[in-house]
Structure formats: C-alpha cells, structure tokens
Amino acid sequence: MTVHSITTSPFADQRPGTSGLRKRTTVFQQTHYLENFVQALLDVASLPPDATLVVGGDGRFHNREATETIIRMAAGNGITHVIVGRAGLLSTPAASHLIRSGAHGGIILSASHNPGGPNGDFGIKYNTGNGGPAPESFTNEVAERARVIQQYTIADLPPFNLDDLGTQQIGPLRLEVVDPVSAYAALMESLFDFDAISGLFASGFRMRFDAMHAITGPYAVEILERRLGALSGTVINRVPLPDFGGGHPDPNLTYAHDLVEELFGSDAPDFGAASDGDGDRNMILGQRFFVTPSDSLAVLAANATLVPGYARGLAGVARSMPTSAAVDAVAESLGIPCFETPTGWKFFGNLLDAGRITLCGEESFGTGSDHVREKDGLWAVLFWLNIVAERGQTVEAIVREHWARFGRNYYTRYDYEGVPTEAANDVMAHLRAQFATLPGTVVASRRVRSADDFSYTDPVDGSVSENQGIRVLFDDDARIVFRLSGTGTEGATIRLYIESRETDATRLGMDTSVALAELVTTALSMSDLVGRTGRREPTVIT
Ligand code: G16
C-alpha cells in the first residue's frame, strides 16, 4: 500500500451547518473538495491507530465514489478497520447503531431530505463514538482546519469490492462489508412487540409506507413486509435510486404526495408513513388524518410504557426550541424533566449519553430515543404501530384523546426557500431591533411576554450556543419563532414557526390554519417579511 500526501488549497465554504456539510453535488465533485473536508474531519477526530471507522450513505448520486475515496483516505491516515454498508449504503440510524456497536466514529454521506442527483445536493458529516453527530465544538474545529488545509493523505489501494458481504484484508486495512439492514432490524425487534404488530397486520390492518425511492426501502421491506407480515406492496417507491426518482425525499404533506393522496382518498388504508433520503425522518398519517411531528413526540411519550423497550418509563424528554410544547405537557404530567435545545440532533447527544432523557424530537419530522444517537424514521413508525396494536384504536382517536387529556398545541411552519441572504438577514435584524419594545405590547389579542434570541447552555458540559432563533413569546403560551435554516444550499431559507396552546375542550377540533390565522398575520407584519424579501407566499407549509 503506497500512501500519498497530496498538496491542496482550502475552499472558503467548508463550514458545517445544522447537520454536516451540505452543498450542491457539483461543488463536492470539484477536485480536492471532498478530500479536504475528509482530511479536516480525520485530523480533528484524531483516531487511534487501531480505530474502527464506519462509512456509508443514503445512496444518492456520488455516494459510491465518495465512499471509495473515504476508504482510501482512512487507510492513508492509518485507520486499520473500516466497516462499510454493502454498496456503500447505510441509513443514518443504522450507521449510528453500527458505530455504537464498537466503532470509534463514522462518516455518513447524505444531504438528508434535500433532492439528489447530478443537479441536486450531496452532504457529509462525522459521528463520534457515541453514534451521534459531532458536537459544535468539533464541527467548529473542522471548519477552522478546512480553512487552512494544505495537504491530505490518501492510500493507493488495489481494487476492492463493496458489493459482497465479508472481510477483505488490503495491506494493513481490514475492510468489512456488512449488510446494511440486519443489525438494525434486530435492534428494532429488541425494542418493539413484533408479535403484537404482526397480529395487527394479520387482523386486516392496512398500511402504506412511502420510502420515496430513498434508503429506507430495503429496511421497510425487510421489517414491515418480511418480519411483520404486512401485505406485499405495503412499501411503495421502495427501490433506492441515486436521484430519488427525481423526487424530493422529504416526508411532509407537500413532497410525500403519493402517500398523502392515498391516505386522504376514499379507500384509505388505516395507517400511512414516510421516511426521508437517509431514513432518519418520519411522517405519520392516520386515515384522512395528519399527525404533526410535535404531537407525534408527545403521543409517543404519553404511551411509551405500552412498548416493551420503554416499559421501564422515561428518564426525561427533550425537544428543539421551535418544536411545539405538546411534549412539555406530557412531561409535566409524568413528573419528568423536559429540555428545550437548539435545532439540530447533535444537541440531544449529551442529554442521551448522560441518561437524562429517553425520548426526543423535533418539528422537522424527527423523533428518536436513546437506542441510537440519531433520529430514526422507521423506529418512530414501529413505535406508532406498537401503540396502535396495544390500544386497539385508530391514529385519529389516539391523537384526539391525547388532546382532550393534555390540551392541543396548534402548530404550523412556513418555509421561505432560496431567499437572498441579505434580505433574510435584514428580516432577522428588523425583528431584533424590536426586542426592547415588543414586551408588554398587545398584538393578535395577546400580550407579548418576551422577545429574544434563543440561547442554550448545555446542562451536561456547560457549553453555550447563542443566536439559535428569534422567539416572541406571549402570555397565553402562544409563540412566534423565526430562524434561518442551516441545511439549505441555495441562498437562505427563512423558517417561521407559529404555535398556540388550547385547553378549552370546545376548541380542540379547529382547522390549524384557522386557529393560527391571526398569529400568522401578526408574524408577517412584525417581520415585514413580504416587504423585505418580496415573497408573498411560503415555498412549503407544514
Ligand atoms: C437536520 C438536523 C435536524 C434539523 C433539520 C432542519 O435534519 O439533524 O436536527 O431539525 O436538519 O434543520 P434546519 O432548520 O437548520 O434546516 P436532517 O434530517 O436534514 O439531517
């Protein structure tokens, strides 16, 4: 094995965002671009010589080439054991599980829910030995390293085979190609009551799972159809494609349209679900009924003890700041702590590692637990199926009962994608300029309690993350939140999150857009968003 030191020069844009580095595929295809970033990751990770590294991705265009390059760089950097999913494929939660099963870290290739293909997006991130996304201190160091990088190290390896399971010894490198699904499927079997869920399917319960031509197809076919006996064909768009079939693999009401049409149609199945590009997001639907991700987290928390893996109860729960406070009400009633973190799964890691929380989730269709250190799409689906099997009720009935017991948090999110960065910053500056004057004023028939930039002090390591979104909080617990996305690749994306809390039993069944109309109008006028961006309508409403 010959090792080469290649001279390079830095790229100015290699600062990881909410979840790793995400850019246009063409950006990643530039000479040295991927290599520079991988070298920066490996330098900061500074793994011991006997380290095991997991490598895999969501199968999008450029996945295989990037996987091969990373394997050569790992060998060049003295790593002696690489575990890779067959064909370079691993869903994000499956990668997290493999890392936790004895590796020192892992490199995951994905731009998650962003479209793929030669004209789409590509991404890369590093997960530490706990299986979770590297913390901000790590990603900041990577950005600093990438900013000054002058060379990277890569080994010349003979051709290696990523398509057959087994171990290949290539000089000092032990390359282990593993089945991407089996360890993950076994983990799911250890958490959920597969007999109860199989019984549900055997009784005629009908489900549709939309894999959106992304990574979860093989996982969902194995678990839902083969192991749990769901009807063949339950999983649609099941073959992973490098460009996701031209679709946008984001499981929401806009992009999972095949599924939504069927679940809101006349012959709708009992249950619908979808996952995203890399398998960590989920959307849950009942018959003609949409469960908001914030409500989904709250329902899982309230029903957790029905599920074998969580029968012992929950240590605590956490949600990201923009996520609705629905789970807070459950935590209060259970007498367990509820943490509010910034957006980004990496902020849950310390709380999970310290055993302070068991479940966590985000409004952005992410839900997870201490079983891995990533959010987990199929896990959430199985959790719901287990609850449905135990309670013998429809999804809609479960959620309506939940609202009656805990109150309802009406919730919506407006996304304005591809806004010029200057205009987006201007909107945020305009809101900040009102921090001093807003408190005490009455808008949308509500009194503003406070207006600020959300700042988080990690209760485990004391690290502080500032400027994590602008919050306008009202006396009646309604909220308006603005933040700029950290996962987009074109200009800026403004996210506007609106929430109001209702406990009056006669007002729990309203249409969300009606319940929140006044707050939306207030948010738009307070921010002067239309005037400052020229955008009359959001790109997506969830
Ligand atoms: C990532 C993060 C999530 C975050 C989401 C949206 O998810 O892991 O924690 O909520 O991005 O982030 P933003 O609002 O900054 O775009 P994923 O599924 O894209 O990896």
pLDDT for 279 equals: 97
Domain 184-406 = CATH 3.20.20.70: no
Ligand 1: residue of 114, 345, 351 to mutate (most ligand atoms within 8 A of CB) is 345
408-541 falls under which CATH superfamily? Alpha-D-phosphohexomutase, C-terminal domain (3.30.310.50)
pLDDT for 84 equals: 98
Confirm if 209 and 234 have CB atoms less than 8 A apart: yes
pLDDT for 488 equals: 75
Give the Cα separation of 349 and 294 in Å (integer).
19
Give the residue extent of every domain in the chain.
Answer: 2-180, 184-406, 408-541
413 within ligand 1 shell (Cβ under 6 A): no
Give the Cα separation of 341 and 345 in Å (integer).
9
- Opening angle at CA 31, ends 26 and 33, nearest 5: 70
pLDDT for 50 equals: 87
112 is catalytic: yes
Give the Cα separation of 209 and 413 in Å (integer).
24
Give the Cα separation of 250 and 212 in Å (integer).
8
Atom of ligand 1 nearest to the CA of 278: 18
- CA-nearest residue for atom 17, ligand 1, is 112
Strands laid side by side in the 105-109 sheet: 21-24, 121-128, 105-109, 52-57, 81-89, 173-178, 166-170
Instruction: Evaluate whether 2-180 and 408-541 have a shared fold.
Output: no
Alpha helix segments (H runs only) across 149-282: 182-191, 194-202, 216-220, 257-263
- CA-nearest residue for atom 19, ligand 1, is 112
Cβ burial of 313 (10 Å; 0-12, 13-18, 19+) is exposed
pLDDT for 489 equals: 75
Cβ burial of 83 (10 Å; 0-12, 13-18, 19+) is buried
The CA 342 to ligand 1 mean position distance, Å, reads 11
Confirm if 406 and 298 have CB atoms less than 8 A apart: yes
Give the Cα separation of 474 and 469 in Å (integer).
16
Q: What residue type is assigned to position 154 of the chain? A: I
Please report the DSSP string for 146-159 in residue order. Answer: HHH--EEEEEE---
368 within ligand 1 shell (Cβ under 6 A): no
Q: What residue type is assigned to position 266 of the chain? A: S
Give the Cα separation of 91 and 57 in Å (integer).
6
What pLDDT tens digit does each residue of the chain (542 aa) get? Answer: 899 999 999 999 999 988 899 999 999 999 999 999 999 999 999 999 889 999 999 999 999 999 999 999 999 999 999 999 999 999 999 999 999 999 999 999 999 999 999 999 999 999 999 999 998 899 999 999 999 999 999 999 999 999 999 999 999 999 999 999 999 999 999 999 999 999 999 999 999 999 999 999 999 999 999 999 999 999 999 999 999 999 899 999 889 988 999 999 999 999 999 999 999 999 999 999 999 999 999 999 999 999 999 999 999 999 999 999 999 999 999 999 999 999 999 899 999 999 999 999 999 999 999 999 999 999 999 999 999 999 999 999 999 999 999 999 999 999 999 999 999 999 999 999 999 999 999 987 899 999 999 999 999 999 999 999 999 999 999 999 999 998 777 789 999 999 999 999 999 999 999 999 999 999 999 999 999 999 999 998 98
Confirm if 285 and 260 have CB atoms less than 8 A apart: yes
485 within ligand 1 shell (Cβ under 6 A): yes
The CA 3 to ligand 1 mean position distance, Å, reads 36
Domain 2-180 = CATH 2.60.120.10: no
486 within ligand 1 shell (Cβ under 6 A): yes
Q: Nearest-CA neighbor of 479 among 444, 506, 509?
A: 444
Cβ burial of 267 (10 Å; 0-12, 13-18, 19+) is exposed
Confirm if 527 and 430 have CB atoms less than 8 A apart: yes
pLDDT for 251 equals: 93
Give the Cα separation of 258 and 269 in Å (integer).
13
